Structure 1
Amino acid sequence: MAAYVIAYDVGTTGIKTCLIEVSGTIKLIASATEHYELHVLENGGVEQDPEDWWHAMSVTTKRVLERSGLPASSIQGISFCAQMQGLVLVDRHGVPVRRAMSYMDHRARLELKEGIANGIQIAGANVFKLLKSLAITGAVASSVKDPVWKYKWVERNEPAIFSKVYKWLDVKEYLICQCTGEFVMTQDSAFAALLYDTRKGKECFSESVCTMYGVDMTHLPRIVRSTDMVGRLTANAAAYLHLQEGTPVFGGGGDVSLIGVGAGAVEPGSTHIYSGTSGWVSTVVSRQLVDASAMIAAIVGANAGTYNYFAELETAGKCLEWVKDHLALDEINIYLEKKHVSEAYESPYESLYDYMMDAIKNVPAGSNGVIFTPWLHGNRSPFEDANARGMFFNIGLDTGKTEMIHAVLEGICYHLRWHLEAQEKKVNTSRVIRFVGGGALAPLTCQILSDILGREVETVENPHNVGAVGAAIVAAVGLGWLGKVDDAKQLIQASARYMPNMANKAVHDRNFKVFKALYKNNKKDFLLLNAGR
């Protein structure tokens, strides 16, 4: 018998709500997307209004029910896949005391410096605190974007607001609270807070680490598993979401945990690459490990007993969005003013991105020597630098915008190759790479990635919906429809394959050497231009 789950994929700039059928296969029945604002502040702050997420849930739930023709009573559970390392501080009624601080927020430089970047250091962290944190949590809060420093920033800079805090939640945990009235945090979110004791038999927030960082443990919620039913829809929430009161609500997981599940990359040694607003390389491992020098750590996964060895690129698809908005549109004449879109140029393309991909398809590998660095909002791995920025390098008189756009795709893929090579210093990555996210919708990007990596690249059906698929799978396990998360491997098969063109790879090998040198050669200038911004 078919069973139906609604999965909410809560991203940086919008929510995608998917109604998914789970039977012998995973089938997308209907989906809907609603965008919301990302507030980028001059002081490095990046915030969102949690009410925007909740409103977007309501709007999209109504749409998917209407599009599917299914009654609310047919929905047997809801689950979440969400952006991670946000900070949502709420009062005892679950009402935010301020706007949420995004994972991209990097204003807590002073808090980071005072909290861990002092004294005798290794990889930018106090050696004693680093060793203690690694021993207990398997990671260390050494990035300015880690949520504990956002928490400390609010405590220092907004004491009146901080005094109202009842609980510290992440993005999906706020939405779970709205649905059920429960204050919880899934294990992967607790780990991402970098306060979670991962040692076998403990698995809880560490009092010792919280004391070291000055975190009030009463602010931390109850920890649950991704597959746990954490509550049921209240009457008010059900009415707002157009669903049935009492519908089971599952913990779900962060995007880092569940996108791999939705990609079918669930067994140790499986590597997937994601390109959405952000991007990453993640390899499933069976033990915790960390490379502090490259800012790579094994993150607690939704699949019990496994971890995701994870390296992140802050802006991946966001770079392509920037190109579309600021570089491409005026040249290829899709429209001269954003309010006047020409249908003639849009057809037969499904989106402006499709048109842009077609416009650059004949640019040769290496973009005639033009190189782009995708650090539009700083970078986290394999180097941590909030001051790093994007650049076009080696532009000549004969360089056109098509080459520059093509170089952006290559620059994103070069950085992902850098991640893959950094991971291989510690683990064996898979020879065949699962590639997912919105970036995997474009065959051109898939082929460029294969050429740059020199590896076979696979994509899956609806690669931009894999987060929601992962959320549906953990709900299906929680409901007893699936035996274990590992079943995702059999349910999710490759739909397309790309083999590397080795002649193109030779060109990319040359450009990749230059790409890596660009950060080292410009690090001081990034600091000079961007420190304090």
Structure 2
Amino acid sequence: MTHVITYDIGTTGLKTCVFEITNQIQLIGSTTEGYDLKILENGGAEQDPNDWWNAMCLTTRRVLQENHLSPEDIQGISFCAQMQGLVLVDKHGEPIRKAMSYIDYRAKKEQKEGIGNGFKIGGANIVKLSKSLYITGAVSASVKDPVWKYKWVQQNEPENFHKVHKWLDVKEFLISKCTNKFVMTEDSAFATLLYDVRKGKKRFSREICQMFGVKMEHLPEIIRCTDMAGKLTEGAANELSLKEGVPVFGGGGDASLIGVGAGAVGPGSTHIYFGTSGWVSTVVKKRVLDINHMIASIIGANSGHFNYFAELETAGKCLEWVKDHLAMDESNLYLEKNQISEEKAVVYKNLYDYMMDAIAHVPAGSNGVIFTPWLHGNRCPFEDPNARGMFFNIGINSGKSDLIHAVLEGICYHFRWQLEAQEKKVNTSPVIRFVGGGALAPITCQILSNVLNRNIEVVEEPHNVGAVGAAVVTAVGLGLLSKIDDANQLIQVRDRYTPDPETKRTYDKYFPVFQSLYKNNKKAFEVLNSQ
């Protein structure tokens, strides 16, 4: 019997989980602590890295206490985290400035100067595009890619840039807090789009760094996801209430480990994630790139495989917006009417659960209302930081329940758009694993099945699959499993959903309209939202 702790570092909160590993991986307990994501007027999105560490310390102490565990019970820790952030630290590992989130898109000028000038294909300079594709298997074509955040700091905050010792991602900052080591796992290194993927290389590319003006000395040592990054220092152990010397493993990014936790690890396996952000990901054995639809093959935790990855910036964030601004009454004019009674509070776990039940009667198509889930721009299948969400075709009889239902459908429409874009290059699986907090609601699972016309499988603890993936990595690092593929037999399916032919016909009618909304409003988005 082995107990491990994994940390799932999301966009708006950190979840700490304790797993017991025997012949299966069993969740013993979990707890969550939230933190802020600050959205700036210039397109910036920032977080204080110390908020992640404080949440990690608080939840570690809490989960031990709540589950009657002692520090000696924990034999390894690891991470699953949001990716493509920029955390610049000094030689002591302290943040020089706030971390720039993966959704930060302020570096438009830097991106245009860096790769957008000259003769272009897909918005990228053809010479730099070709060199990047040959060496890294991808290209920094998105304004949200980390290198442009790095260049933004260099050009706009020279006093901060002068202090930089290392460029880290989110979990790498927490690893440094735990071990005093500056490392970056292979998947995070690839996500910088500075990583040489060619056989016999597997390191940061000096040539690409020179092309983009990145200082090689700022880049940390690269390790595998299953490697031990170091051991817990005395100071970190005291803050976490853990034992000094506990092995700390590299872990992986959410895009790497959520598929592992979903059991979608073999070639051709497709999973869809519906958390704060969202994506469609299919496992492939060789590099595939579709620059026109902004889909790339990213290195995952499972050696020798890639994840063909299409990202949606705001998925569950749209549902959070609905909760805060539609389901709840900001003006308090109808506060008494809208309060959930004590009787209902016993039935429903939270307001999201209540919302899902409240919209169960809404028919497919939400009585004509369509929602676009681009609340903070979009990356795939089109790249546009100016794109925004909208409710389209509201009529005099449209109500809140229609609008909330339309949000779920809009997110699922976008997943269909991404899935169809993937199929231009690869074969996706006929049965799709659906995970994340969105997979907790049966209504969402059924809508997704109907929109995609695919069978949908939901695993046990779908909202904890990132942490499960990190537990698998830890088990491999501790020698309890020989390889990541061995964990597939431990991932159990809880529910299955099949598409309804009649409902599918409705969604087939609405889907082209959904797609047209971006093309028809692209210029308007630019007028209203470009800086």
Name the structure 2 match of 1:242: 241
Contact 1:299 1:310 in 2 (8 A): yes
For the pair 1:373 / 2:386, whether they are aligned, the reply is no
Name the structure 2 match of 1:70: 69
SS at match of 2:362: coil
Q: In 2, distance between residues paired with 1:345 and 1:521?
A: 43
Gap change, CA 1:335 and 1:232, over 3 Å in 2 = farther
Contact 1:334 1:346 in 2 (8 A): no
Name the structure 1 match of 2:178: 179
Q: CA deviation at 1:344?
A: 4.3
Contact 1:266 1:489 in 2 (8 A): yes
Contact 1:335 1:342 in 2 (8 A): no
SS at match of 1:116: helix
Offset from partner CA, 1:286-333 (integer Å, 9 cap, x none): 0111000000000001000000000000000000000000011239x9
Offset from partner CA, 1:49-94 (integer Å, 9 cap, x none): 0000000000100111112212111111000000000000000000
Offset from partner CA, 1:137-182 (integer Å, 9 cap, x none): 0000000000000000000000001000000000000000000000
Q: CA deviation at 1:503?
A: 0.5
Q: In 1, distance between residues paired with 2:137 and 2:336?
A: 51
One-letter amino acid of the counterpart of residue 31, structure 1: S
Offset from partner CA, 1:316-366 (integer Å, 9 cap, x none): 0000000000011239x9982999875444231001000000000010011
User: What 5-or-longer segments of structure 2 have no aligned partner?
Assistant: none
Q: In 2, distance between residues paired with 1:37 and 1:344?
A: 32
Name the structure 1 match of 2:457: 458
One-letter amino acid of the counterpart of residue 166, structure 1: H
One-letter amino acid of the counterpart of residue 358, structure 1: D
Name the structure 2 match of 1:384: 383
Contact 1:47 1:100 in 2 (8 A): yes
Contact 1:324 1:353 in 2 (8 A): yes
Contact 1:130 1:140 in 2 (8 A): yes
One-letter amino acid of the counterpart of residue 202, structure 2: E
Name the structure 2 match of 1:361: 360
Name the structure 1 match of 2:158: 159
Name the structure 2 match of 1:53: 52
Name the structure 1 match of 2:229: 230
TM-score when normalising by structure 2 = 0.98
Q: In 2, distance between residues paired with 1:495 and 1:322?
A: 29
Contact 1:334 1:341 in 2 (8 A): no
Name the structure 1 match of 2:263: 264
Aligned-pair identity in percent equals 69
Offset from partner CA, 1:232-287 (integer Å, 9 cap, x none): 00000000001000000000000000000000000000000000000000000001
* 4+ residue segments displaced more than 6 Å: 337-341
Gap change, CA 1:338 and 1:124, over 3 Å in 2 = farther
Q: In 2, distance between residues paired with 1:334 and 1:54?
A: 39
Name the structure 1 match of 2:440: 441
Contact 2:328 2:338 in 1 (8 A): no
Q: In 1, distance between residues paired with 2:486 and 2:268?
A: 16
Q: In 2, distance between residues paired with 1:130 and 1:478?
A: 37
SS at match of 1:96: coil
One-letter amino acid of the counterpart of residue 500, structure 1: P
TM-score when normalising by structure 1 = 0.98
Gap change, CA 1:489 and 1:211, over 3 Å in 2 = same
Contact 2:481 2:487 in 1 (8 A): no
Name the structure 1 match of 2:296: 297
Name the structure 2 match of 1:18: 17
SS at match of 2:335: coil
Q: In 2, distance between residues paired with 1:39 and 1:346?
A: 31
Name the structure 2 match of 1:104: 103
Q: In 1, distance between residues paired with 2:521 and 2:398?
A: 22
SS at match of 1:347: helix
For the pair 1:280 / 2:279, whether they are aligned, the reply is yes
Name the structure 2 match of 1:210: 209
Q: In 1, distance between residues paired with 2:142 and 2:297?
A: 15
For the pair 1:479 / 2:470, whether they are aligned, the reply is no
SS at match of 2:118: coil
Note the 1:325-344 alignment, pairs <5 A: 325-330=324-329, 336=335, 343-344=342-343
Offset from partner CA, 1:420-456 (integer Å, 9 cap, x none): 0000000000000000000000000000000000010
Contact 2:181 2:230 in 1 (8 A): yes
Offset from partner CA, 1:349-397 (integer Å, 9 cap, x none): 0010000000000100111111000000000000000000000011111
Q: In 1, distance between residues paired with 2:409 and 2:373?
A: 10
Name the structure 1 match of 2:133: 134
One-letter amino acid of the counterpart of residue 74, structure 1: D
Cα RMSD, aligned residues only = 1.5
Name the structure 1 match of 2:169: 170
Aligned residue pairs, count:
530
Note the 1:190-201 alignment, pairs <5 A: 190-201=189-200
Q: In 2, distance between residues paired with 1:519 and 1:483?
A: 47
